[in-house]
Amino acid sequence: MLAERRRYTEHAERYEAEAEQLVSEREPGDVQFDEESGEGDSIAVERDRALQISAREREEIAEIDAALARIEDGTYGICVVSGKPIPKERLEAIPHASMRVEVKSSGPAWRRP
């Protein structure tokens, strides 16, 4: 799980750097964006894409950190919602899984108020 966390961190940092580079390449007043070329729009889209991917990577890191905490406190492998054991096959596929498939697939209905 630590190797997976390291990989997600590297990816997140790479996408954040890509987004920063897209912004820094366009200094204010550098070149006026041409509406016909759509250059300004494509840079904004690329930057947003990089930031969205980075945010997803950061969410995965948080889930891995939570799984590591569950290992420490002895609750790893127990669904955080139902309290039932998470099947071994699910944990092998997604080691940081915190919920059983049926709970996760039920969507927001499982969320507490």
- Domain map of the chain by residue range? 1-74, 77-113
Q: Is 78 helix (H, G, I), strand (E, B) or coil?
A: strand
Q: What angle do CA 89, 92, 93 make, to 5 degrees?
A: 90
Percent helix, strand, coil in the chain, to 5, is 65, 0, 35
Distance between CA 80 and CA 93 in Å, rounded? 18
**Whole-model pTM?**
0.68
- The DSSP-derived string for 51-76 is HHHHHHHHHHHHHHHHHHHHHHHT-T
| pLDDT (0 to 100) of residue 15 | 86
- pLDDT recorded at residue 23: 73
Q: In the prediction, which pLDDT does 39 show?
A: 56
| 10-residue averages of pLDDT along the chain (113 residues) | 90 88 66 52 84 92 96 96 96 95 79 48
